[in-house]
Structure 1
Amino acid sequence: MANFSVEPLFRLLYSLAIPALIASGVLCLCLLMLLCGLRLWFQRRKKQLILSRQHGKKPFVIAFFHPYCNAGGGGERVLWCALRALQKKYKDACYVVYTGDTDATAENILERAYRRFNIRLSQPVKFVFLSRRYLVEASLYPNFTLLGQSLGSVFLGWEALMSCVPDVYIDSMGYAFTLPLFKYLGGCRIGCYVHYPTISTDMLSVVRNRNARFNNAAVIISNPLLSKLKLIYYYIFASIYGLVGSCSDVVMVNSSWTLNHILSLWDCSDRTSIVYPPCDVQAFLDIPLREEESAVEQNIVSVSQFRPEKDHPLQIRAFAKLLEKIAGQQLQPKLILIGGCRNHEDDQRVSGLKKLCQELGVEKGVEFKVNIPFEELKQHLAEAAIGLHTMWNEHFGIGVVECMAAGTIILAHNSGGPKLDIVVPYEGNITGFLAENEDDYADMMAHILTLSPTKRLEIRQNARQSVKRFADQEFEEAFLISVEPLFK
Structure 2
Amino acid sequence: MVSDSKVYGFFHPYCNAGGGGERVLWQAANDTLNKKSTNRIVVYTGDVDSDDEIFKNVEKRFDIHLDKQRVQFVRLSTRWAVDPNQWPVLTLLGQALGSVVLCAEAIYRYKPDYWIDTMGYPFTYFLVKLWLGIPLIVYVHFPVISEDMLGKLHPALSSLGGIKQLLKYIYWSTFMAVYHTSGRFVDIALANSTWTRNHIQRIWSFKPSVSILYPPCSTEKFISQEDLKLTTWNRENSIICLAQFRPEKRHQLIIREYAKFLRSTDLKSAPKLILMGSIRGKSDEDYVQSLKLLAAELKVPDTHVEFILDAKYQVVQEYLRKVTFGLNAMWNEHFGIAVVEYVASGLVPIVHASAGPFLDIVVPWDSESHSQSDVSDETTRTGFFFKSETDPDAKPTDMKFPRLHEAFQAASTLTDEEKLSMTKRGKQSVLNKFSDVKFDQGWDSVLERIDMMQVTGSAFPRALLILLSMFVVILGVTLFKSV
TM-score normalised per structure 1: 0.76
Residue equivalent to 1:476: 440
1:360 aligns with 2:294: yes
Contact 1:190–1:486 (CA under 8 A) maintained in structure 2? no
| 1:182-212 C-alpha deviation (Å, 9 max, x unpaired) | 222233321100111111112222223899x
| 1:379-430 C-alpha deviation (Å, 9 max, x unpaired) | 2211221212222222222221121111111112211122222222112410
Residues 84-93 or 118-127, more deviating: 118-127
Q: Match for 2:19 among 48, 73, 76? A: 73
What is the correspondence of 1:134-149 to structure 2 with a 5 Å cutoff? 134-149=80-95
Question: Which structure: greater helix fraction?
Answer: 1
Q: Match for 1:184 among 103, 112, 130? A: 130
| 1:227-273 C-alpha deviation (Å, 9 max, x unpaired) | 33222222211110011122111111122222221121115533531
1:194 aligns with 2:136: no
What is the correspondence of 1:17-28 to structure 2 with a 5 Å cutoff? none
What is the correspondence of 1:410-429 to structure 2 with a 5 Å cutoff? 410-427=349-366, 428=375, 429=380
Residue equivalent to 1:406: 345
* Structure 2 counterpart SS, 1:126: strand
Change in Cα spacing, 1:76 to 1:447, as seen in structure 2 (3 Å) is same
* Structure 2 counterpart SS, 1:355: helix
Residues 126-135 or 457-466, more deviating: 126-135
Q: What is the deviation of 1:316?
A: 4.9
The two structures, once aligned, show a CA RMSD in angstroms of: 3.0
Contact 1:412–1:418 (CA under 8 A) maintained in structure 2? yes
- Whole-angstrom CA distance in 2 between matches of 1:209 and 1:309: 25
Q: What is the deviation of 1:62?
A: 0.9
Residue equivalent to 1:395: 334
Change in Cα spacing, 1:424 to 1:171, as seen in structure 2 (3 Å) is same
* Structure 1 counterpart SS, 2:241: strand
Contact 1:292–1:457 (CA under 8 A) maintained in structure 2? yes
Residue equivalent to 1:173: 119
Return the letter of the residue paired with 2:54: I
Q: Match for 1:117 among 62, 68, 79? A: 62
- Whole-angstrom CA distance in 1 between matches of 2:126 and 2:16: 26
Change in Cα spacing, 1:166 to 1:222, as seen in structure 2 (3 Å) is same
* Structure 1 counterpart SS, 2:365: coil
Residue equivalent to 1:275: 213
1:291 aligns with 2:232: yes
Contact 2:140–2:190 (CA under 8 A) maintained in structure 1? yes
* Structure 2 counterpart SS, 1:270: coil
Q: What is the deviation of 1:128?
A: 2.7
- Whole-angstrom CA distance in 2 between matches of 1:209 and 1:436: 26
Residue equivalent to 1:436: 387
Q: Match for 1:235 among 173, 177, 194? A: 173
Residue equivalent to 1:27: none
Contact 2:216–2:435 (CA under 8 A) maintained in structure 1? yes
Change in Cα spacing, 1:445 to 1:132, as seen in structure 2 (3 Å) is farther
- Whole-angstrom CA distance in 1 between matches of 2:308 and 2:60: 19
Q: What is the deviation of 1:88?
A: 1.0
Q: What is the deviation of 1:320?
A: 5.2
Return the letter of the residue paired with 2:437: Q
| 1:24-72 C-alpha deviation (Å, 9 max, x unpaired) | xxxxxxxxxxxxxxxxxxxxxxxxxxxxxx36x6952212122222333
Q: What is the deviation of 1:330?
A: 6.7
- Whole-angstrom CA distance in 2 between matches of 1:330 and 1:249: 56
What is the correspondence of 1:7-406 to structure 2 with a 5 Å cutoff? 54=1, 59-102=5-48, 104-124=49-69, 125-208=71-154, 222-270=160-208, 272-286=210-224, 288=227, 291-293=232-234, 297-304=236-243, 309-319=248-258, 321-322=260-261, 328-329=267-268, 333-338=272-277, 346-348=280-282, 350-361=284-295, 365-370=305-310, 372-373=312-313, 375-406=314-345
Return the letter of the residue paired with 2:439: F
- Whole-angstrom CA distance in 2 between matches of 1:203 and 1:311: 18
- Whole-angstrom CA distance in 1 between matches of 2:231 and 2:255: 27
- Whole-angstrom CA distance in 2 between matches of 1:72 and 1:313: 28
Contact 1:64–1:169 (CA under 8 A) maintained in structure 2? yes
Residue equivalent to 2:428: 465
| 1:47-103 C-alpha deviation (Å, 9 max, x unpaired) | xxxxxxx36x6952212122222333222221121112111103212212222333x
Q: Provide structure 2 residue ranges, at least 5 long, that are not aligned to the other structure.
A: 367-374, 391-401, 453-483
Contact 2:9–2:114 (CA under 8 A) maintained in structure 1? yes
Contact 2:184–2:207 (CA under 8 A) maintained in structure 1? no
Q: What is the deviation of 1:132?
A: 3.2
